[in-house]
Amino acid sequence: MRSLPLPLALTARLTPVAVLACAGWAMASGPDTTATAGTSGDTTKQSAGQSAGDTPSSSSATGAAGTKTYTTSPAPCGSIPAATVTSLVPGAQTAGKEIPSTDTKLRRTCSWNALKGYDYRWLDVSFEIMDTDAAAAKEYRDRVAEKGGGGAVPGLGDNGYSVVNLTTQDKQQTREGVVMAQVSNALVIVTYNGSDFENKKAPSTDEINKGAIKAAKSAVTALKGSR
């Protein structure tokens, strides 16, 4: 089976950040007609447990290569407890919004986002189902290689990985954490980011990293319970 790309929602998640940033700046200091496009010159990467040089375990790839533990994706919007959504994305509807998918048996994504005061938060949770454990392990390794700079998350599925990055555009910081987990023939991908539109700063690396891992653990638990 051909490797599945990251859901569109994950690659487009920073667009609403830019839109809401304009609203946040307007509340703080009125319209800014002199802003010019910024560049991403500040990057922070956080290891969740082990150094970036560690190589994720390939035991899943060499194990039961022909098995298919999961045949469908669980409902993503029900994978994160309401209390967790409230703590990570203040002001968001806890029910979330599922992103349309071409095949809901293989890929499903739910999004939560909200601007409360000047603080903006966005959370995505995705499930992707592969044909075999080996295919999922390979896809996991490929995506970890693409992200780079993070570290392993022990105990998160068969393999777990976390990375946090800081970007700056028009002097507005956004910090984003991505957590990926391989669980048998399934992948769990969590994206969590935030900005403060009053002081133009981003939440701390620790806050974003811990929040993304917390959501990922809930999602993995939901996946295992869907069997």
The pLDDT profile of the chain, 227 residues, written as one tens digit per residue, is: 444 444 434 344 544 444 444 444 344 334 333 333 333 334 444 444 443 334 444 444 444 445 589 999 999 999 999 999 999 999 999 999 999 998 998 999 999 999 999 999 999 999 999 999 999 999 999 999 998 899 999 999 999 999 999 999 999 999 999 999 999 999 999 999 999 999 999 999 999 999 999 999 999 999 999 88
Tell me whether residue 57 is in a domain: yes
Q: Say how far apart CA 127 and CA 117 lie, in whole Å.
A: 31
Q: What is the per-residue pLDDT for 13?
A: 52
Domain region containing 80: 8-29+40-225
Q: Say how far apart CA 56 and CA 53 lie, in whole Å.
A: 10
Q: pTM for this one?
A: 0.73
Tell me whether residue 34 is in a domain: no
Tell me whether residue 51 is in a domain: yes
- Which DSSP letter does residue 2 get? P
- Which DSSP letter does residue 48 get? S
Tell me whether residue 118 is in a domain: yes
Give the three-class secondary structure for 126.
strand
Please tell me the total count of domains within the chain: 1
Q: Say how far apart CA 117 and CA 120 lie, in whole Å.
A: 8
Q: What is the per-residue pLDDT for 171?
A: 95
Q: What is the per-residue pLDDT for 157?
A: 96
Tell me whether residue 35 is in a domain: no
Q: What is the per-residue pLDDT for 66?
A: 54
Q: What is the per-residue pLDDT for 36?
A: 35
Q: Say how far apart CA 72 and CA 51 lie, in whole Å.
A: 33
Question: Hey, which bits of the chain come out as E strands?
Answer: 97-99, 107-116, 119-129, 151-152, 159-169, 172-183, 186-196
Q: What is the per-residue pLDDT for 154?
A: 96
Q: What is the per-residue pLDDT for 126?
A: 98
Tell me whether residue 130 is in a domain: yes
Tell me whether residue 120 is in a domain: yes
Q: What is the per-residue pLDDT for 148?
A: 82
Q: What is the per-residue pLDDT for 147?
A: 87
Q: What is the per-residue pLDDT for 213?
A: 98
Tell me whether residue 1 is in a domain: no
- Which DSSP letter does residue 134 get? H
Type of residue found at 131: D
